[in-house]
Amino acid sequence: MTSSALAETAQALVADGKGILAADESSPTIKKRFDSIKIESTEENRRDYRDMLFTTPDAGKYISGVILYDETIRQKAADGTPLVDKLTKAGMIPGIKVDMGAKPLAGHPEETVTEGLDGLRGRLEEYAKLGARFTKWRGVYRIGDAIPSAGCITANAHALARYAALAQEAGLVPIVEPEVLMDGDHDIDVCEAVTEEVLRSVYNELALQDVWLEGTLLKPNMVISGQDCKDQAGVQEVAERSVQCLKRTVPAAVPGIVFLSGGQSDALATEHLNAMNRLPGTLPWKLSFSYGRALQAAPLKAWSGKAANLEKGQAAFLKRAQDNAAAASGKYAA
Ligand code: 13P
């Protein structure tokens, strides 16, 4: 894979008016989602649910790529077609989550470091053979009393950079995801300061590991008030402060920034992205989405595990995809 092929994939993932579906919930996480609609998390149910999303007519007009979980990239639909083939046929690029999850960071109670570097080179090679063209690794940072610590920030940035270099070596675009959680009662100022520090450290480590930024995407949190903060910043303030923070920290060589939704309501995830894309002035990178919950909550509920609801689930998914694609161009109207 040449570096220009990496850049082409990265650019295709943030093509005008398109964004990414994160459908890479690990087994414990998808179980939680299925618990909410009272269906059992069996391999068959997971397969049918994801098959429903991936075969939604016209989804490929709004969704550029889909992040899969290890089970899904190997899975065949009930009709025997590999799910990866269904995505490719519908014009969506298959991607894969390659980290092994956030694990307790020794010596740092309440903090985590994301693991999965051991053996990663071999796993990446296999994923490339299975059809993946891009990858994701998520570092997690919790805001609290004197955290995130410098130890947590540097450990996660280091892992993200090591991962990104290995992904590029395998010809796969790395999506670098440092997520500052919205849990807590901190205000937007704290979120901004922490996000800025985290992003600075991530780009510093990416430079140390010689990661080629043109062949990467960033998947950050937005700069928002903590979930339990009494004084919730409005849509315009979130948009302005998120963009300001990113302008200070993300090099112009990065082709695109695809936000995570992180527990925001569907409406806010869409409105925030739309407001950012409507700010005056030009930006060096595309601003789009790589939402999990903000794209899937509605179709999950509409489907509710019943084959008879397939079309309802697909209609709900298409609507969320259309709204967020419009927001990625600043053209969403509530
Ligand atoms: P959410 O949009 O639900 O935060 O999921 C995105 C994701 O991939 C988190 O790693």
Query: What residue owns the CA closest to ligand 1's atom 5?
Result: 292
**Which tokens hold the place of 252?**
């112009």
d(Cα 10, Cα 317) in Å, to the nearest integer?
24
**Domain count of the fold of the chain:** 1
How many angstroms is it from 26 CA to the middle of ligand 1?
Answer: 11
Q: Which amino acid type is present at position 207?
A: A
How many angstroms is it from 36 CA to the middle of ligand 1?
Answer: 17
Is residue 91 situated within a structural domain? yes
Q: Are 201 and 153 in contact (CB under 8 A)?
A: yes
At residue 105 the predicted structure's pLDDT band, cuts being 50, 70 and 90, is very high
At residue 334 the predicted structure's pLDDT band, cuts being 50, 70 and 90, is confident
Q: Are 156 and 192 in contact (CB under 8 A)?
A: no
How many angstroms is it from 220 CA to the middle of ligand 1?
Answer: 10
Q: Quick one: residue 318, left, alpha or beta (phi over 0 = left, psi -120 to 50 = alpha)?
A: alpha
Q: Please say if the pLDDT value at position 95 is more than 60.
A: yes
Residues contacting 118, CB < 8 A, separation 6+: none
Q: Please say if the pLDDT value at position 29 is more than 70.
A: yes
Q: Are 280 and 249 in contact (CB under 8 A)?
A: no
Which among 107, 183, 177, 173 has a CA at the least distance from the CA of 137? 177
Instruction: Convert the pLDDT of each residue in 283-304 to its tens digit.
Output: 999 999 999 999 999 999 999 9
At residue 280 the predicted structure's pLDDT band, cuts being 50, 70 and 90, is very high
* Residues with C-beta less than 6 Å from any ligand 1 atom: 22, 138, 177, 260-262, 291-294
- Report helix, strand or coil for 21: strand
Burial class (CB in 10 A: 0-12, 13-18, 19+), 282: exposed
d(Cα 256, Cα 301) in Å, to the nearest integer?
30
Atom number, ligand 1, closest to the C-alpha of residue 296: 3
**Which tokens hold the place of 179?**
């997520």
How many angstroms is it from 260 CA to the middle of ligand 1?
Answer: 5
Is residue 333 situated within a structural domain? no
Per-chain mean pLDDT for the chain? 98
Judging by DSSP bridges, how do beta strands 173-180 and 134-141 pair with one another?
parallel
HSE value, Cβ hemisphere, 13 Å, CA-based, for 299: 29
Residues contacting 42, CB < 8 A, separation 6+: none
d(Cα 24, Cα 19) in Å, to the nearest integer?
15
Q: Which helix (H) or strand (E) holds 256?
A: strand 256-259
Q: Are 259 and 311 in contact (CB under 8 A)?
A: no
Atom number, ligand 1, closest to the C-alpha of residue 24: 8
How many angstroms separate the Cα of 308 from the Cα of each of 51, 52, 141, 301, 305? 14, 11, 41, 13, 9
pLDDT at 28: 96
Is residue 334 situated within a structural domain? no
154 lies in which domain range? Answer: 3-327
Q: Give the domain CATH number at 116.
A: 3.20.20.70
Query: What residue owns the CA closest to ligand 1's atom 10?
Result: 138
Which among 200, 105, 194, 219 has a CA at the least distance from the CA of 144? 194
Instruction: Convert the pLDDT of each residue in 139-166 to its tens digit.
Output: 999 999 999 999 999 999 999 999 999 9
How many angstroms is it from 134 CA to the middle of ligand 1?
Answer: 16
Pocket test for ligand 1, best of 25, 261, 272, 296 (most atoms within 8 A of CB): 261
Is residue 332 situated within a structural domain? no
Is residue 140 situated within a structural domain? yes
* Helix residue spans in 209-292 (DSSP H): 235-249, 266-277
Average pLDDT on 185-206 reads 98
pLDDT at 2: 63
Q: Are 215 and 10 in contact (CB under 8 A)?
A: yes
Q: Please say if the pLDDT value at position 89 is more than 70.
A: yes
pLDDT at 3: 82
- Active site members: 177, 219
Atom number, ligand 1, closest to the C-alpha of residue 269: 2
Model-level pTM? 0.98
d(Cα 262, Cα 258) in Å, to the nearest integer?
12
Atom number, ligand 1, closest to the C-alpha of residue 138: 10
At residue 243 the predicted structure's pLDDT band, cuts being 50, 70 and 90, is very high
d(Cα 215, Cα 256) in Å, to the nearest integer?
10
